[in-house]
Structure 1
Amino acid sequence: MNILSISSRVTYGHVGHAASVFCLQRLGHEVWPVETTLLSNHLGYPAWGGRQLTTEEVTMVLDGLERFGVYPEVDVFATGFLGKAPQLAVETLAKLRRSRPDMLYALDPVMGERKGGLYVPAETAVLIKRELLPQADLTFPNIFELDYLSGSRVETLEDAIRGCEAIRAQGRPNLTVIATGIERVDGNPQVIETMAVGPQGVFLATAQRHPLKAHGTGDCFAAFFLGHYLNNRHDLETSLGLAASAMAAVVEATGDARELALVAAQDAFANPPKKAKLERLR
Structure 2
Amino acid sequence: MVVMSIAGVDPSAGAGVFADLKTFQAHGVYGCGVVTALTAQNPHKVFSLSPVDGDYIAEQIDAVLDAYNITYIKTGMLYSPEIIKLVSKKITEYDLKAVVDPVMVATSGGDLTKSDLADALNKYLLPKSILTTPNIEEAEKLTDLKINTQEDAIKATEKIPCNSLITGGHLDGINTMRINGEITIEKQELIESDNLHGTGCNLSSAIVANLENGNDLVNSCLKSFDYVYKAIENGNYGTLIAKL
TM-score range, shorter chain: 0.7 to 0.9
Residue in 2 aligned with 1:275? Answer: none
SS of the residue aligned with 2:41?
A: coil
Residue in 1 aligned with 2:86? Answer: 91
**Shift in CA distance, 66/45, structure 1 to aligned 2, threshold 3 Å:** closer
CA distance in 2, matches of 1:34, 1:5: 6
CA distance in 2, matches of 1:263, 1:72: 25
For residue 77 of structure 2, what is the amino acid of its counterpart?
F
Tell me the TM-score normalised to structure 1 length: 0.74
Deviation at 1:133, TM superposition (A): 1.6
1:261-272 matched pairs, under 5 angstroms? 261-268=236-243, 270=244
SS of the residue aligned with 1:8?
A: strand
Residue in 2 aligned with 1:177? Answer: 164
Deviation at 1:160, TM superposition (A): 0.9
Report whether the alignment pairs 1:228 with 2:210. yes
For residue 112 of structure 1, what is the amino acid of its counterpart?
V
Deviation at 1:9, TM superposition (A): 1.1
For residue 99 of structure 1, what is the amino acid of its counterpart?
Y
Residue in 2 aligned with 1:54? Answer: 52
Deviation at 1:144, TM superposition (A): 0.9
Deviation at 1:249, TM superposition (A): 0.8
Residue in 1 aligned with 2:142? Answer: 149
Bigger-Rg structure (1/2): 1
Residues 33-68 of structure 1, C-alpha deviations (whole Å, 9 max, x = no match): 11123345337338x5x741332xx52253255267
Match of 1:163 among 153, 156, 159: 156
Deviation at 1:116, TM superposition (A): 5.8
How many residue pairs match? The answer is 243
**Shift in CA distance, 59/166, structure 1 to aligned 2, threshold 3 Å:** same
**Identity of counterpart residues, as a percentage?**
20
CA distance in 2, matches of 1:161, 1:66: 37
**Shift in CA distance, 119/235, structure 1 to aligned 2, threshold 3 Å:** closer
Match of 2:125 among 123, 132, 141: 132
Q: Which moved more, 1:35-44 or 1:22-31?
A: 35-44
Residue in 2 aligned with 1:202? Answer: 183
CA distance in 2, matches of 1:74, 1:213: 35
Deviation at 1:143, TM superposition (A): 0.2
Runs of 4+ in 1 over 4 A off after TM superposition: 113-119
Deviation at 1:17, TM superposition (A): 1.3
Residue in 2 aligned with 1:15? Answer: 15
Deviation at 1:108, TM superposition (A): 1.0
CA distance in 2, matches of 1:128, 1:27: 28
Match of 2:113 among 104, 107, 120: 120
Deviation at 1:23, TM superposition (A): 0.5
Match of 2:198 among 192, 208, 216: 216
**8 Å CA contact retained: 1:178, 1:194:** yes
**Shift in CA distance, 162/114, structure 1 to aligned 2, threshold 3 Å:** farther
Q: Structure 1 unaligned runs (5+)?
A: 255-260, 271-282
Match of 1:63 among 35, 59, 73: 59
CA distance in 2, matches of 1:226, 1:212: 25
CA distance in 2, matches of 1:196, 1:5: 22
SS of the residue aligned with 2:174?
A: strand
Q: Structure 2 unaligned runs (5+)?
A: none
**Shift in CA distance, 54/118, structure 1 to aligned 2, threshold 3 Å:** closer
CA distance in 2, matches of 1:138, 1:23: 18
Report whether the alignment pairs 1:4 with 2:4. yes
SS of the residue aligned with 2:33?
A: strand
CA distance in 1, matches of 2:55, 2:67: 14
**8 Å CA contact retained: 2:10, 2:42:** yes
Tell me the TM-score normalised to structure 2 length: 0.85
